[in-house]
């Protein structure tokens, strides 16, 4: 039953471009997909280890900038006589480099997280994102600052000498993002149901107890941060090669807030939560634009958000799950909130 539902969803998502020819809607779905990947990555930290990273956009942006720079190449005038020249690399390698760079910074932040928790972790992550934003704004030699990096090459696939396609169109980008999102979803799902996942949930629920039963708290915090950051970096790379321009505004705090909203309203600590939240809050503003003036749009958006938090404090997914269980399933328990919201 569960498998059938999952399969139906996947088929549906893959079929969308076949019957949906409106490119604008496809674009909305692509952006929502990119944000969903970021939300999935944030959920691993926020939902499973209980650490609120309010600088998550930094990892997204680092992935975006690294991937853009590696694929474009850059010159750095290190001294008067010596200029470091970095030749452009293929986009896929740039994408991997972006993931690796984001993961590396995730490792650093994870190490710091061992020392500072709670409110201090929040401050560290916010500051980190702000520092990265200021660097991207001011290191004009490297990042072009507010002039932005332009003409970033898109993804592409090729069989050498025979056939090639560069992803200028929306269609291949849609499929690329869908596949990456599914991979990220599966990675998180497998991770949280493994021993490592139990350790993370344990340290979220009761850190003193978790360490007393032998969970290596630092190790799993760092692991979660690295995976989460790398995934956010992947989302950033997808973004940068789709939009094909990246500027320091990518690091704006509002994007982190959007990710947090997606995770919390969807249901933090559930695998499906960030997907539901990501799609909902990725698509909702665009839908509202159809029939409401800009001022009213944001009012509706805000009211909807407050309503969700007020009536479904655990998030949409846990609420639907428990309603479904109460209605249809035998009272077996265990499925609704085992890895679920607090």
Partner 1 sequence: MLEITGLECRYGKVSAVRGLSMVVNQGELVTLIGANGAGKSTTLKAISGLLPPAAGRIVFDGQDISDASAQRILSLGIAHCPEGRRIFPYMSVQENLDMGCYLRRDADGIEADRRRVFERFPILEGRRRQTAGTLSGGEQQMLAIGRALMSRPKLVLFDEPSLGLAPNLVETTFEIIAEIRAEGVTVLMVEQNAYAALEICDRAYLLESGAVALQGTGAELKDIPHVREAYLGG
Which positions touch partner 1 (CB under 8 A)? 195, 198-199, 201-202, 205-206, 208-216, 332-334, 337-338, 340-342
As measured in angstroms, the least distance from the Cβ of 150 to partner 1 is 48
As measured in angstroms, the least distance from the Cβ of 47 to partner 1 is 12
Comparison of 263 and 341: residue with beta carbon closer to partner 1: 341
Could you write out the DSSP letters of every residue in 175-240? HHHHHHHHHHHHHHHHHHTSHHHHHHHHHHH-HHHHHHTT--HHHHHHHHHHHHHHHHHHHHHHHH
> Which helix or strand (DSSP H or E) is residue 83 part of?
strand 83-86
As measured in angstroms, the least distance from the Cβ of 244 to partner 1 is 44
Comparison of 214 and 294: residue with beta carbon closer to partner 1: 214
Mention every residue, 6+ apart, whose C-beta is less than 8 A from residue 177: 30, 33, 34, 37, 238, 242
As measured in angstroms, the least distance from the Cβ of 269 to partner 1 is 8
Q: Report residue 185 CA to chain centroid gap.
A: 11
Its sign, for the CA torsion 216, 222, 226, 228, is positive
Comparison of 233 and 336: residue with beta carbon closer to partner 1: 336
Return the ∠ at Cα 41 (arms to 39 and 47), rounded to 5°: 80
What are the C-alpha distances in Å from 229 to residues 16, 100, 167, 233, 309? Answer: 29, 9, 25, 6, 26
Comparison of 181 and 215: residue with beta carbon closer to partner 1: 215
Comparison of 295 and 332: residue with beta carbon closer to partner 1: 332
Tell the residue number behind the tokens 């505004």, with chain if given.
249
Comparison of 45 and 109: residue with beta carbon closer to partner 1: 45
As measured in angstroms, the least distance from the Cβ of 267 to partner 1 is 13
Tell the residue number behind the tokens 């994408």, with chain if given.
95
Comparison of 137 and 217: residue with beta carbon closer to partner 1: 217
As measured in angstroms, the least distance from the Cβ of 220 to partner 1 is 11
Alpha-carbon distance of 1 to 227, in angstroms, equals 31
Give the distance between the most distant pair of CA atoms in the chain.
76
As measured in angstroms, the least distance from the Cβ of 226 to partner 1 is 21
């Amino acid at each position: 039953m569960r498998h059938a539902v999952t399969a139906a969803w996947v088929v549906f998502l893959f079929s969308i471009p076949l019957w949906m020819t409106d490119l604008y809607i496809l674009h909305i779905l692509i952006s929502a997909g990119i944000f969903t990947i970021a939300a999935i990555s944030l959920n691993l930290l926020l939902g499973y280890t209980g650490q609120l990273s309010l600088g998550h956009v930094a990892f997204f942006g680092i992935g975006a900038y690294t991937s853009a720079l590696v694929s474009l190449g850059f010159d750095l005038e290190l001294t008067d006589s010596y200029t470091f020249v970095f030749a452009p690399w293929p986009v896929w390698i740039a994408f991997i480099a972006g993931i690796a760079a984001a993961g590396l910074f995730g490792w650093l932040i994870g190490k710091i997280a061992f020392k500072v928790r709670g409110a201090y972790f929040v401050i560290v992550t916010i500051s980190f994102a702000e520092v990265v934003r200021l660097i991207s704004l001011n290191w004009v030699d490297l990042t072009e600052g507010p002039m932005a990096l332009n003409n970033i090459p898109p993804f592409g696939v090729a069989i050498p000498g025979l056939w090639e396609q560069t992803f200028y169109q929306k269609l291949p980008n849609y499929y690329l993002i869908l596949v990456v999102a599914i991979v990220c979803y599966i990675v998180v799902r497998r991770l949280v149901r493994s021993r490592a996942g139990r350790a993370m949930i344990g340290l979220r629920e009761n850190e003193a107890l978790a360490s007393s039963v032998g969970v290596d708290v630092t190790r799993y915090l760092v692991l979660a941060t690295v995976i989460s950051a790398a995934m956010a970096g992947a989302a950033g790379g997808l973004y940068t090669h789709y939009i094909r321009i990246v500027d320091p505004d990518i690091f704006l705090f509002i994007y982190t807030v959007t990710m947090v909203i997606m995770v919390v309203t969807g249901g933090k600590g559930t695998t499906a939560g960030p997907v539901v939240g990501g799609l909902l809050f990725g698509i909702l503003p665009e839908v509202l634009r159809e029939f409401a003036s800009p001022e009213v749009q944001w009012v509706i958006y805000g009211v909807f958000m407050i309503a969700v938090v007020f009536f479904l404090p655990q998030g949409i997914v846990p609420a639907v799950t428990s309603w479904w269980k109460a209605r249809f399933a035998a009272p077996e328990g265990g499925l609704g909130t085992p890895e679920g919201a607090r």
